[in-house]
């Protein structure tokens, strides 16, 4: 995966801006890899591409053995911010890491026994700031595939970093709460991963936590699929300090964690690709006390590392004041306060953005 990240995030690729020649080069690279792995073209006119405006989505299909017309969608986005004022935004974590993960899994599944359901691998364009996930939303609306026959959607965006320096094994999984069966399967695989000594710490979190202004302000390409009622899981290591800066370079990524995540994802996706049970999407979900517990753990970590984070006194005081209440929510002593949990999540992201090393 490191080789792919270094190629896509090189200065020669000039940040893979939407509608640029380098963006098209990235799309052609992904298509070439799909062809190399033996995936069938999944785009328009028997090609790997779906064109929209100046952009291209790239699609490859691994046909299922029992249910070839029902798909599991595996996705990332290959665009980044491009060049601004002569400075290149290489986008190694955002989202060359996700594309590398997508291709790693495409290759692995192409060599494995055929799944029961087809797997549709998609690299979207125009996800980035100002584009509003245009590529994935266009795909969902286009009618190229019947979204009612999408079993689940798995999305990768920023999967190579650490939200904080001490989270070198942490990965966050958002959104499974919208599908009970998918959520239970994810929990099972998380438990298996944690049973080994050198484990990957995958943490399930409610997607509402990163959408304090509502679903109209989504964080990645899962948005259009959610709107269409497709169960989804959004995997990310979070937005580190170099997010959307010129310092998002290949040298900063945690490739060991990426390899561990790749193995986890292969097992998880293989499970849902073989399972014959039905996945039902639930648009309305209740806040979960486990979300309060996970936020409390992060806040404890911030206080523990407050010196290295150069945490300001006002923020420290606020966390110390609210943390006992969050822990009481987690234990069930008091009712969940969704707005407070969302606000604290936003504060955590701000602290992470300021935690440059």
- pLDDT, one tens digit per residue, over 6-31 is 999 999 999 999 999 999 999 999 99
- pLDDT, one tens digit per residue, over 304-323 is 999 888 889 999 999 999 99
CA gyration radius, the chain: 20
d(CA 257, CA 160): 7
No. of H helices and E strands in the chain?
Answer: 10, 11
What's the whole-number mean pLDDT along residues 192-198? 84
3-state secondary structure at position 101: helix
Q: How many CA atoms lie within 13 A of 44 on its CB side?
A: 9
pLDDT of residue 132: 79
| Residue-range domain boundaries for the chain | 2-274, 289-353
Q: How many CA atoms lie within 13 A of 165 on its CB side?
A: 9
Find the distance separating the first CA and the last CA of the chain, reported in whole Å.
24
What's the whole-number mean pLDDT along residues 134-161? 96
The CATH number corresponding to 2-274 among 1.10.3720.10, 3.30.300.30, 3.40.630.10, 3.40.50.2000 equals 3.40.630.10
Can you give the pTM of this predicted structure? 0.94
Average pLDDT of the residues of the chain: 93
CB 256 within 8 A of CB 195: no
d(CA 117, CA 63): 7
* Per-residue pLDDT at 286 exceeds 70: no
Least trusted range by pLDDT, from 54-68, 223-237, 275-289: 275-289
């Amino acid at each position: 995966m490191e080789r792919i990240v270094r190629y896509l995030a090189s200065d020669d690729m000039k940040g893979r801006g939407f509608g640029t020649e380098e963006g098209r080069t990235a799309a052609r690279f992904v298509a070439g890899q799909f062809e190399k792995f033996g995936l069938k073209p999944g785009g328009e006119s028997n090609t790997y591409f779906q064109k929209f405006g100046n952009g291209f989505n790239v699609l490859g299909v691994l046909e299922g053995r029992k249910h070839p017309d029902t798909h599991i969608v595996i996705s990332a986005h290959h665009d980044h911010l491009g060049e601004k004022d002569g400075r290149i935004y290489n986008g190694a974590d955002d989202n060359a890491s996700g594309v590398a993960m997508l291709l790693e899994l495409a290759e692995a599944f192409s060599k494995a026994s055929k799944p029961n359901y087809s797997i549709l691998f998609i690299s979207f364009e125009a996800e980035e700031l100002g584009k509003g996930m245009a590529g994935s939303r266009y795909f969902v609306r286009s009618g190229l595939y019947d979204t009612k026959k999408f079993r689940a959607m798995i999305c990768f965006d920023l999967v190579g970093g650490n939200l904080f320096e001490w989270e070198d094994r942490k990965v966050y999984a958002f959104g499974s709460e919208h599908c009970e069966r998918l959520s239970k399967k994810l929990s099972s695989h998380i438990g298996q991963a944690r049973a080994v000594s050198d484990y990957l710490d995958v943490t399930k979190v409610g997607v509402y936590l990163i959408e304090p202004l509502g679903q109209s302000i989504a964080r990645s390409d899962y948005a259009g699929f959610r709107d269409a009622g497709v169960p989804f899981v959004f995997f990310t290591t979070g937005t580190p300090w170099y997010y959307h800066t010129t310092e998002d370079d290949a040298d900063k990524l945690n490739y060991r964690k990426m390899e561990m995540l790749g193995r986890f994802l292969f097992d998880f996706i293989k499970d849902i690709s073989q399972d014959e049970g039905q996945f039902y999407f639930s648009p309305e979900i209740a806040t979960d006390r486990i979300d309060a517990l996970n936020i409390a753990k992060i806040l404890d970590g911030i206080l523990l590392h407050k010196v290295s984070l150069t945490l300001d006194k006002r923020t420290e005081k606020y966390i110390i004041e609210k943390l006992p209440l969050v822990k009481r929510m987690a234990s069930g002593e008091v009712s969940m306060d969704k707005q407070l949990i969302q606000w604290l999540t936003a504060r955590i992201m701000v602290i992470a953005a300021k935690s440059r090393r």
